[in-house]
A and B are shown apart, each in its own frame.
Chain A
Amino acid sequence: MIRLNRKNGGIKMNAHEYFSETKKILDFAKENQKEALIQMSRAIGDVMMTNGLIQLLGVGADRAFAMELGYRAGGLMPYHQVNMKDLVLRGLVSLEEYQDPNFLNRKDIAKMLWGQYNIDPKDALLVYVASTATQSVLEITKFAKQENRKIFFVGSIKSVSRNKVGKDLIKLADYRVDLCTPYPDTLLTLHDNIKITQVANVVGNMFAQMMTAETYRYLKDLNQDPAVLLSANVTGADVHNRKISDVYLGRWNS
């Protein structure tokens, strides 16, 4: 176990350092990816204008991006989350199988999961990988590509492209946004080469919300009426949310 104290150097950080370091990364990523974010946001808007949904894919901690866009207060309605845990919830694999460290690299689970949902020909796929792509994510993306769907990729290009699975995944994307975050996804140095804390999801969640703003404005500029969800925890929101989600009933919640 790691035991650090003043004799061996201890640790020299506090939480203010996390705030200042992440702000530098955020500022850089925002400026560096400005055009890519705008292009992706508009392309997402184009899918929505054809009554298509964006299928959101991310596994493990990479679900953060999907959760930030899918059925989110202040977010746009036409998203659906592709959730690996649905395989367990729907009784297709056991919890023990799901918790196996190699589960996400099984090729067979991709078809099983993709086949669970009511996916319309107009739908597109958005894949989020902060750091390391798994085989199952690549296989799902290949299915979507074979079905001629638009593919959006958001992730740390530097991290994801370290191996062949990641490189293949990135190549499949029609639109790419780079988080501009380091590999490994750790930030502050605790001691020597021991690092703690992560930054990718800070940038990812920020980008998700920035894309919401851009897609909203794009649709408004085209005289569309973007469907925006209200917080379910505000009095009266249920009626509004049910009304706009019923347009996609059986799809957004498939």
Chain B
Amino acid sequence: MKNITMNVFYEQAMALIDTLENQEMTHMVKASELCAEAIKNDGIVHIFGSGHSVGFGAECTGRAGSLVPFHMIETSDFVTKGLTTLADFKNPDDNFERRPNIAHKLYDLYQVRPQDVFIIISNSGINGVVIDLAITAKAKGHKIIVITSMQHTLAEPSRHPSGKKLYELGDVVIDNCGPRGDALIETGAIEKICSVSSITGIYIAQTLTVEICRILSEDHCDIPILLSEEVLGYEKFNKELLEKYKGRIN
């Protein structure tokens, strides 16, 4: 067995974060420009990731210091909004996130306006639901930001009937810089351990927040940020802001 310690992971993960910052900043700024443009035009940003990629949306929404016009789409909305049963959703023999031809139903569940932008996250970028939502949103004229592992997606065949992969549908593609299979540390056996895409995903999410705020500020536009209610008076500000986007972000 190779020498595996938490420090080994830490050092490799930090090196990868440096790679992300150096290699992908241009793409992250470009993505921020698309989001800022949507927000300036009273649009919102829809965020969709299936599996562990749902964490990206959770990182961006509903917290003090986050932008309000972000809407998180979850595959479990299929169940909570009555489009399928829990048994079907959890069927181990027919993995839900791999299914094609269902994502258009997700799109129809929400209040989507023409100026809205979509961020679609998938480490592999090969599964049915994410690719279909990207196809649907693109066909409706929305800008698509894709976050994926280029190393992984280029190494695996698409599971979508079209043969397409998610990155091919992106107006902007951000590489999360993770390795194929997501795990980073060699063990000497077939398995590698310790995944990294959620960590680099958080950095991408937070970078978008910073850059969108910067762009809105430079363009003299309102910055719709959720404030910490520890500060007196901010509760009212938050309430009004949430009211403005009510029904579109929740």
Contacts and interface: CB of A to CB of B under 8 A. Distances in A.
B65 A198 contact: yes
Nearest to A210: B6
A239 interface: no
A51 interface: no
Interface in B169-224: 180-185, 187, 191-196, 198-199, 202-203, 206-207, 209-211, 213-214, 217-218, 220-224
A14 B58 contact: no
B214 A202 contact: no
A107 B89 CA distance: 29
Which of A4, A41, A188 is most buried by chain B, counting CB atoms within 10 A of its CB?
A4
Given A23-B14, A234-B156, A190 B55 contact: no
B198 A205 contact: yes
Contacts of B152: 231, 233
Interface string A72-104: 111100000000010011100001000100000
A202 B10 contact: no
A113 interface: no
A41 B4 CA distance: 13
B198 to A, nearest CB: 5
B227 A194 contact: yes
Given A4-B217, A205-B199, A209-B196, A60 B241 contact: no
A83 to B, nearest CB: 9
B9 interface: yes
A75 B225 contact: no
Interface string B235-248: 00000010000000
A213 B156 contact: no
Contacts of B79: 89
B139 interface: no
A228 B62 CA distance: 33
Contacts of A4: 217, 223
Contact of B193 (A23, A75, A201): A75
A85 B90 CA distance: 14
Contacts of A95: 80-81
B6 A73 contact: no
Given A220-B1, A233-B123, A68 B231 contact: no
Contacts of B157: 235
A234 B180 contact: yes
Interface of B: 1, 4-10, 13-14, 17, 21, 25, 28-29, 51-52, 54-55, 58-59, 62-66, 76, 79-81, 86, 89-90, 92, 95, 123-124, 126-127, 152, 156-157, 180-185, 187, 191-196, 198-199, 202-203, 206-207, 209-211, 213-214, 217-218, 220-225, 227-228, 230-231, 241, 250
